[in-house]
């Protein structure tokens, strides 16, 4: 009886955890586009400035105003040393004349403390012509003209230079799937600045990136499909349709880019998809609640993590068949191979252990205590050191790959949901849903070196050059 109750509790906790990682989807008015306004880094002389945003709207040529949601209501100059998301909103397709910005209050820090600044009694009009297309995203950058905005230290009347960010070279493109806002953020992985947003289907989640063909596959958990993105053009050019109720959570691509596997959480199956034709070839029944898929470096076998049945299904990719099922602890969610491909590290939501599987013997060869709540794993492509991110822990733990003893930690200041490593810049990119951002750490110094504001409830980050 006790074992049954423990099982029921585990299932309830797992369901709660899954619900937290994929939030209630935000409704977009049919046909509307989307606009993101980003503040560019402030100059050093603006460190003393602080102001509160009362409201911001887009203005059409006929004088109508369309309110945007303010993302950064309290602007502190010392905190705008990186690009910051100021506001976002849905807009009907059409031409626009600019924006209307109302400042609620402003102050300037001096030797005697903060001094209040006079602010305009009415909203300030910011002229900038732009268009919004049907179901298309638009990113607009705002560069504060500090000298023109602060008049003799008595008045704050904001002036901005407005522009569309430049698209970076393709080898610098990064993507973030935002499950809550149903869009995909595109950023420059070198400058760590957002330059575009792609409006997607409902519930974009896991991403598989084909670096050679420069295509990205994004699972749509709310639309039973997979978006196919042209990374060079920065747009969606196809959607792979799955079955109603599949609710795909995460996807994986074979090393040769020919086969795409989709973990269908809703139907307890894995779809085998021909990446060239973009049609489902077959589907394989697996355990309950398949969350993700890890493909071994040879591309011959795939390991499917069945969160609700506490098992891992091993698939033979060439024959498209189930080889065996491996039992593990409670709530396996993801796994990562080491460089040689002879160790698979499996993280679990409920169990306080990381499980190590020998992919040749298809057996569990180790169980190491790390406390429960692990939901992100990344193996360092240079050292095989294992990075673990936890739900309730604001530090990313570093573990020796063999003894699995802790060898250090990285203070992230936030809970981490998913990670990837950039081979070009030697950076670790970490998704933080609570702060709606991606944190960036240097793998050598193990220090945070940047942060990128993205959409609601980011789920996955991927980029060209990742390892």
pLDDT, tens digit (0-9, with 9 covering 90-100), for 366-385: 999 998 889 999 999 889 99
**Please, is 248 exposed, middle or buried when counting C-beta atoms within 10 Å of its C-beta (0-12, 13-18, 19+)?**
buried
In angstroms, what is the C-alpha Rg of the chain?
Answer: 24
pLDDT of residue 1 exceeding 80, the answer is: no
Instruction: Report pLDDT for 391.
Output: 80
4 domain residue, yes or no:
no
Rounded Cα distance between 231 and 214, Å, is 5
Residues 106 and 202 in one domain: no
Rounded Cα distance between 67 and 456, Å, is 18
3-state SS of 279-295 is: EEEEEEECCCCEEEEEE
pLDDT of residue 168 exceeding 80, the answer is: yes
Greater model confidence, 21 or 208: 208
Provide mean pLDDT across the span 284-305.
98
Asked if 65 contacts 56 with a C-beta cutoff of 8 angstroms, the reply is no
395 domain residue, yes or no:
yes
Rounded Cα distance between 44 and 391, Å, is 36
Strands 386-390 and 94-110: unpaired
Sign of the dihedral defined by the CA atoms of residues 148, 153, 156, 160, in that order: positive
Residues 139 and 224 in one domain: no
Supply the DSSP symbol for 232.
Answer: T
444 domain residue, yes or no:
yes
Rounded Cα distance between 384 and 380, Å, is 5
Residues 159 and 199 in one domain: no
Assign 325 to helix, strand or coil. strand
Instruction: Report pLDDT for 454.
Output: 98
How far CA 108 is from CA of 27, 84, 105, 403, in Å, comes to: 39, 20, 11, 54
Measured at the CA of 115, the angle between CA 114 and CA 119, to 5 degrees, comes to: 125
27 domain residue, yes or no:
no
pLDDT of residue 294 exceeding 70, the answer is: yes
Instruction: Report pLDDT for 11.
Output: 43
Q: Look at residues 23, 82, 86, 12 and name the one whose alpha carbon lies nearest to residue 56.
A: 86
Q: How many residues are recorded in the chain?
A: 467
Instruction: Report pLDDT for 26.
Output: 56
The pair of structure tokens assigned to 454 is 């993205």
Strands 269-274 and 94-110: unpaired
Measured at the CA of 130, the angle between CA 128 and CA 135, to 5 degrees, comes to: 145
How far CA 464 is from CA of 186, 320, 384, 429, in Å, comes to: 11, 29, 21, 12
Instruction: Report pLDDT for 152.
Output: 72
Residues 306 and 454 in one domain: yes
Residues 142 and 183 in one domain: no
Give me the CATH number covering residue 204. Answer: 2.130.10.10
Instruction: Report pLDDT for 419.
Output: 97
Q: In 446-456, which positions are buried (b, 16+ CB within 10 angstroms) versus exposed (e)?
A: eebebbbbbbb
Give me the CATH number covering residue 140. Answer: 2.60.40
Residues 128 and 221 in one domain: no
Supply the DSSP symbol for 46.
Answer: G
Rounded Cα distance between 239 and 223, Å, is 10
Instruction: Report pLDDT for 381.
Output: 85
20 domain residue, yes or no:
no
Provide mean pLDDT across the span 182-204.
98
Q: Which residues pair with 226 in a beta bridge?
A: 219, 240
List pLDDT tens digits, range 377-422: 999 988 999 999 988 888 999 999 999 999 999 999 889 999 999 9
Instruction: Report pLDDT for 2.
Output: 38
On the CB side of 388, how many CA atoms lie within 13 Å of its CA?
33
**Please, is 47 exposed, middle or buried when counting C-beta atoms within 10 Å of its C-beta (0-12, 13-18, 19+)?**
middle
Q: Which of 115, 135, 163 is the last residue of a domain?
A: 163
**Band of residue 19 on the pLDDT scale cut at 50, 70, 90:** very low
What's the total number of domains in the chain? 2
Asked if 420 contacts 463 with a C-beta cutoff of 8 angstroms, the reply is yes
Residues 392 and 281 in one domain: yes
Residues 198 and 305 in one domain: yes
**Band of residue 27 on the pLDDT scale cut at 50, 70, 90:** low
List pLDDT tens digits, range 209-265: 999 999 999 999 999 999 999 999 999 999 999 999 999 999 999 999 999 999 999
Residues 104 and 138 in one domain: yes
pLDDT of residue 167 exceeding 80, the answer is: yes
> The domain containing residue 374 runs over which residues?
170-463
Of 107-121, 124-138, 307-321, which gets the smallest average pLDDT?
A: 107-121
11 domain residue, yes or no:
no
Residues 267 and 393 in one domain: yes
Asked if 291 contacts 306 with a C-beta cutoff of 8 angstroms, the reply is yes
Q: Look at residues 244, 251, 250 and name the one whose alpha carbon lies nearest to residue 223.
A: 244
Asked if 391 contacts 415 with a C-beta cutoff of 8 angstroms, the reply is yes
Tell me what the pLDDT averaged over the chain comes to.
Answer: 93
309 domain residue, yes or no:
yes
Q: Which of 146, 163, 180 is the last residue of a domain?
A: 163
List pLDDT tens digits, range 56-67: 999 999 999 999
273 domain residue, yes or no:
yes
Instruction: Report pLDDT for 373.
Output: 86
**Band of residue 82 on the pLDDT scale cut at 50, 70, 90:** very high
Q: Which of 148, 163, 178 is the last residue of a domain?
A: 163
Q: Look at residues 313, 187, 73, 8 and name the one whose alpha carbon lies nearest to residue 304.
A: 313
Residues 157 and 174 in one domain: no
Rounded Cα distance between 344 and 384, Å, is 11
**Band of residue 196 on the pLDDT scale cut at 50, 70, 90:** very high
């Amino acid at each position: 009886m006790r074992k049954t109750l423990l099982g029921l509790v585990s299932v309830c906790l797992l369901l709660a955890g899954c619900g937290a990682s994929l939030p209630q989807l935000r409704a977009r008015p049919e046909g509307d586009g989307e606009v993101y306004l980003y503040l560019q880094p402030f100059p050093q002389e603006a460190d003393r400035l602080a102001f509160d945003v009362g409201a911001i709207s887009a203005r059409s040529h006929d004088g109508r105003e369309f309110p945007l949601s303010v993302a950064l209501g309290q602007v502190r100059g010392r905190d705008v040393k990186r690009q910051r998301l100021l506001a976002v909103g849905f807009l009907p397709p059409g031409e626009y004349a600019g924006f209307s910005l109302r400042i609620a209050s402003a102050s300037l820090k001096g030797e005697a403390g903060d001094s209040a600044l006079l602010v305009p009694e009415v909203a300030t009009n910011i002229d900038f012509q732009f268009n919004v297309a049907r179901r298309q995203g638009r990113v607009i950058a705002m560069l504060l003209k500090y000298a023109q905005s602060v008049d003799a230290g008595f008045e704050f009347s904001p002036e901005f230079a407005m522009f569309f960010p430049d698209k970076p070279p393709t080898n610098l493109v990064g993507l973030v799937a935002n499950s809550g806002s149903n869009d995909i953020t595109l950023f420059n992985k070198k400058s760590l600045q957002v330059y575009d947003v792609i409006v997607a289907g409902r519930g974009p989640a896991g991403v598989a990136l084909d670096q050679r063909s420069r295509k990205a596959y994004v699972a749509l958990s709310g639309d039973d499909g997979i978006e196919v993105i042209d990374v060079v053009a920065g747009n969606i050019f196809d959607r792979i349709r799955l079955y109603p109720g599949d609710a795909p959570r995460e996807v994986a691509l074979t090393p040769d880019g020919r086969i795409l596997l989709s973990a269908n959480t809703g139907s307890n199956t894995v779809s085998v998809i021909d990446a060239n034709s973009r049609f489902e070839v077959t589907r394989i029944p697996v355990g309950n609640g398949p969350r993700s898929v890890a493909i071994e470096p040879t591309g011959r076998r795939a390991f499917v993590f069945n969160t609700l049945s506490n098992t891992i299904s091993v698939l033979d990719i060439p024959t498209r068949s189930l080889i065996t099922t491996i039992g593990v602890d409670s709530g396996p969610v993801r796994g990562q191979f080491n460089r040689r491909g002879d160790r698979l590290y499996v993280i679990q939501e409920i169990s306080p252990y990381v499980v190590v599987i020998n992919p040749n013997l298809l057996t569990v060869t180790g169980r190491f205590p790390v406390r429960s709540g692990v939901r992100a794993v990344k193996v360092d492509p240079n050292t095989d050191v294992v990075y673990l991110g936890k739900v309730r822990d604001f530090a990313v733990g570093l573990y020796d790959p063999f003894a699995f003893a802790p060898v250090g930690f990285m203070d992230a200041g936030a809970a981490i949901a998913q990670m990837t490593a950039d081979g070009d810049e030697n950076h670790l990119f970490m998704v933080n849903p609570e702060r709606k951002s991606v944190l960036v750490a240097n793998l050598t110094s193990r220090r945070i070196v940047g942060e990128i504001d993205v959409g609601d409830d980011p789920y996955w980050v991927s980029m060209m050059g990742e390892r």
